[in-house]
Amino acid sequence: MGTFAVINPATGETLAEYPDATAEEIESALTSAQKAYKEWARTTTVAERAALAQRAAELFDERKDELGAIINREMGKPLDQSVGEAEFSGAITAAFAKNAEKWLADEQLEVEDGLRSFFRFQGTGVILGIMPWNYPYYQVARFAVPNLILGNTVILKHAAQCPESALALEKIFRDAGFPEGAYVNVFATHEQLADIIADDRIQGVSLTGSERAGAIVAEQAGRHLKKCVLELGGSDVFLVLDTADVDHAVEHAVGGRMENTGQACNGSKRIVVMDKHFDEFAEKFKAAIAGQSYESGDFGPLSSSQATETLSKQVKSAIDQGAEVLVGSTEPEGNVFTPTVLANITPSMDVYSQELFGPVAQLYKVSSDEEAVELANSSPYGLGSVVICDDLERAERVGNQLDVGMVFIGAAGLEGADVPFGGVKKSGYGRELGKVGMLEFANKKLFRFAE
């Protein structure tokens, strides 16, 4: 079997296989992307490119049911969430199209000598995107769309289990009117990716994936002086400090942990609750997690047998080292992993510093804000966080002390189509979405006039 294949995680059935790219196909991708950059991206306006993106946004919505069915069978996401991802991808695409001229307008500089000076934001060339399986459309939209509007062209290598969503995305951009070479899908192997990164026609690399993959790509890119944006793992904290509505806190903790069957980089993986609320919260949280139903579509199978094996080993190791299972089962049925809550976790356990990519929550009790912050910051990751506290000034004060890239106060799921996303520490660097995301691979070209 080749690298790229559709294997339905609900059944284990191999539905389709696609051959790896040949050396000739890789060269063709590089050639066409470079040609499109020179002949299209550099000769069109932001408004013209944004208009094509707006059409792509419409196609995401028009094809949402078809797109949803594809990723449902590729990586097991419940169908309503799959369709929702296609819709959100369209909303992201539309947001970039709507705001592009404003976000890319010349930035006037106030300089001491008074000379007229400004930044102009332009493309730099061909950008390589290496994208993951957990959000096959959303991750690509937030990377590719701003670069295309900015004036870059894109070569996209998708996850091995997502060949059909990869092809569907390429078709959307072509049908929207982007010319040949503006967005090119390649079924590249890891070895071919190293060669692509080294090629002088590539000006930057954006990767969303594991810490290990990020380290490899960053090393390869650094060796060839290519800029990187890395969105890697996370073990996000969900802090419950003080609230008159524990039910609200439980609802958002469950939502934050169970979104995409727990396979979200910024999912709420560590639930940290102040002692005054702990007993009530724990009982309600356990009941809510236990009430999640596979048959009703609350969650789906894990994305692959490898994902199931990895999570199972992590949970069993935690139990062997003394963690307690409050809810759930450590024995998956195929790739269906019962939603689970672990407690009594100590810093000496491996799971304390691991990312659990699946429907498994860690539950902690703390007795002060200082203890909560210390626990939160003990993770090697620093992607997002949620702070539940009726005193918003206290919530902001605690959030200010968290070593993370994002703080959501009062609720989980506060992502937005035009809201920047990214982290610190081993969660990577750089940002996607919003104006800051649009400028990651921009040439911030300085203009100065003598008089």
Rounded CA gap, 3 and 120, in Å?
Answer: 41
Question: How many domains are contained in the chain?
Answer: 2
User: How much is the pLDDT for 330?
Assistant: 82
Intervals of the chain under pLDDT 50: none
402 with 323, same domain: the answer is yes
147 with 44, same domain: the answer is yes
276 with 375, same domain: the answer is yes
State the DSSP code for 236. E
Residue 222: inside a domain: yes
219 with 246, same domain: the answer is no
Q: Are 366 and 378 in contact (CB under 8 A)?
A: no
171 with 314, same domain: the answer is no
342 with 220, same domain: the answer is no
- Return the CA Rg of the chain: 23
User: How much is the pLDDT for 1?
Assistant: 54
Kindly report the CATH number assigned to the domain that includes residue 255: 3.40.309.10
Residue 423: inside a domain: no
161 with 301, same domain: the answer is no
Residue 420: inside a domain: no
402 with 284, same domain: the answer is yes
Rounding to the nearest 10 degrees, give the CA dihedral for residues 243, 249, 253, 254.
Answer: 160
244 with 367, same domain: the answer is yes
Q: Give the model confidence (pLDDT) of 58-81 as tens digits.
A: 999 999 999 999 999 999 999 999
Q: Give the model confidence (pLDDT) of 1-38 as tens digits.
A: 578 999 999 999 999 999 999 999 999 999 999 999 99
Residue 394: inside a domain: yes
Residues catalogued as catalytic: 231, 265
213 with 87, same domain: the answer is yes
Residue 361: inside a domain: yes
223 with 136, same domain: the answer is yes
Residue 397: inside a domain: yes
Residue 421: inside a domain: no
User: How much is the pLDDT for 335?
Assistant: 97
99 with 48, same domain: the answer is yes
Kindly report the CATH number assigned to the domain that includes residue 192: 3.40.605.10
Q: Are 167 and 51 in contact (CB under 8 A)?
A: no
Q: In terms of residue numbers, what domain contains 356?
A: 236-415
